[in-house]
Structure 1
Amino acid sequence: MMTITQFFSVLLARRRLLLLVALTVLALVLAMTLLLPKRYMSEAVIAVDGGSDPVQFSSLGPVVQQNYLGTQAAIVASHATALRVVRDLRLADYPQAQERFARSGEGGDIASWLAAGLLRDLDVVPGKESNTITVRYGAVDPAFAAAIANGFVDAYRHVVIENRSGQALQSESFFKDQMVDLQRDLEQRQARLSDYQRQHGILAGSRDRIDTESQRLMELTGQVTQAEADYIAASSRVTDAQNNDNPLLAQLTLALADLRKQRSLVAERSGTRHPQYQQLNAQIAATERERAAQQGRIEAQRRQSVEAMAARLKAQQDELAQQKQRVLALKDRLAELDILQRGVDNAQRSYELVMQKWSEAAIQSNASLTNITVLQRAQPSARPVSPRPLFNLLFGTLLALGCGALASFLVELRARRVRCADDLTHSLGLPVLITLQGERSPARAPRLLLNWRGGQS
Structure 2
Amino acid sequence: MSIDQLVRVLRARWLTLALSIAVCVALVAGATQFMEKKYSATATVVVDIKSADPVSGAVVMPPATANYLATQVGVINSNRVMRRVIEFLALDKDPAHIAAWQRSTGGHGDIKEWLCGFLLSRLSVRASHDGNLIDITAIWTDPAMASKVANAVARAYITTNLELKVEPAKEYANWFGERTTTSRDALEKAQIRLSEYQRSSGIVESDAKLDVENARLAELSTQLVALQGITADSASRQRQTSGNVDTLPEVMANPMVGTLKTELARMEAKREELAGRVGSAHPDMQRADSEIAALRERIAAESKRVATAIGTNNRINQERESVLRSALEAQKRRVLAITKQRDEIGFLQADVANAQRAYDLVTQRLAQTSLESQSQTANVMVVTPAVTPLRPVSPRPALNILVALMLGLLVGIAIVLVSERLDKRVRSESDLRDALLIPMLGGVSAA
In the superposition, the TM-score normalised over structure 1's length comes to 0.73
AA of the residue aligned to 1:41: S
Task: Please tell me whether the aligned partners of residues 168 and 365 of structure 1 are also in contact (alpha carbons under 8 angstroms).
Answer: yes
1:142 deviation in Å? 1.4
Task: Please tell me whether the aligned partners of residues 48 and 132 of structure 1 are also in contact (alpha carbons under 8 angstroms).
Answer: yes
1:211 deviation in Å? 1.9
Which residue in 2 is equivalent to 1:102? 102
Deviations 1:188-219 (A, max 9, x none): 2222222222222223x543232222222222
**Structure 2 segments unaligned to the other structure (5+ residues):** 258-295, 442-447
Q: Distance in 2 between matches of 1:173 and 1:231?
A: 76
1:325 lines up with 2:317 in the alignment: no
Task: Please tell me whether the aligned partners of residues 126 and 133 of structure 1 are also in contact (alpha carbons under 8 angstroms).
Answer: yes
Task: Please tell me whether the aligned partners of residues 52 and 59 of structure 2 are also in contact (alpha carbons under 8 angstroms).
Answer: yes
> How many residue pairs end up in the alignment?
397
AA of the residue aligned to 2:47: V
Task: Please tell me whether the aligned partners of residues 41 and 385 of structure 1 are also in contact (alpha carbons under 8 angstroms).
Answer: yes
Select 1:386's aligned residue among 381, 394, 404: 394
SS in 1 for 2:175: helix
Which residue in 2 is equivalent to 1:216? 216
Which residue in 2 is equivalent to 1:32? 31
Q: Distance in 2 between matches of 1:129 and 1:449?
A: 63
Query: Percent identical across equivalent pairs?
Result: 30
Q: Distance in 2 between matches of 1:119 and 1:67?
A: 21
Q: Distance in 1 between matches of 2:76 and 2:168?
A: 19
Q: Distance in 1 between matches of 2:232 and 2:2?
A: 137
Listed as ranges, the matches of 1:35-46 within 5 Å are 35-46=34-45
1:120 deviation in Å? 0.2
Q: Distance in 1 between matches of 2:136 and 2:381?
A: 13
Task: Please tell me whether the aligned partners of residues 36 and 141 of structure 2 are also in contact (alpha carbons under 8 angstroms).
Answer: yes
Listed as ranges, the matches of 1:40-439 within 5 Å are 40-50=39-49, 53=52, 59-62=61-64, 65-106=65-106, 107-203=108-204, 205-236=205-236, 246=249, 300-412=308-420, 414-415=421-422
Going from structure 1 to structure 2, the CA distance change for 1:409 and 1:330 (only over 3 Å counts) comes to farther
Which residue in 2 is equivalent to 1:429? none
Which residue in 2 is equivalent to 1:450? 435
Q: Distance in 2 between matches of 1:416 and 1:295?
A: 176
1:44 deviation in Å? 1.0
1:454 deviation in Å? 4.8
Q: Distance in 2 between matches of 1:15 and 1:332?
A: 118
1:22 deviation in Å? 2.6
Task: Please tell me whether the aligned partners of residues 123 and 139 of structure 2 are also in contact (alpha carbons under 8 angstroms).
Answer: yes
Going from structure 1 to structure 2, the CA distance change for 1:454 and 1:180 (only over 3 Å counts) comes to closer
Task: Please tell me whether the aligned partners of residues 30 and 392 of structure 1 are also in contact (alpha carbons under 8 angstroms).
Answer: yes
Task: Please tell me whether the aligned partners of residues 433 and 440 of structure 2 are also in contact (alpha carbons under 8 angstroms).
Answer: no
Task: Please tell me whether the aligned partners of residues 44 and 135 of structure 1 are also in contact (alpha carbons under 8 angstroms).
Answer: yes
1:227 deviation in Å? 2.9
Q: Distance in 2 between matches of 1:289 and 1:97?
A: 145
Q: Distance in 2 between matches of 1:449 and 1:70?
A: 65
Task: Please tell me whether the aligned partners of residues 40 and 142 of structure 1 are also in contact (alpha carbons under 8 angstroms).
Answer: yes
Q: Distance in 2 between matches of 1:211 and 1:394?
A: 105
**Structure 1 segments unaligned to the other structure (5+ residues):** 253-287, 420-440
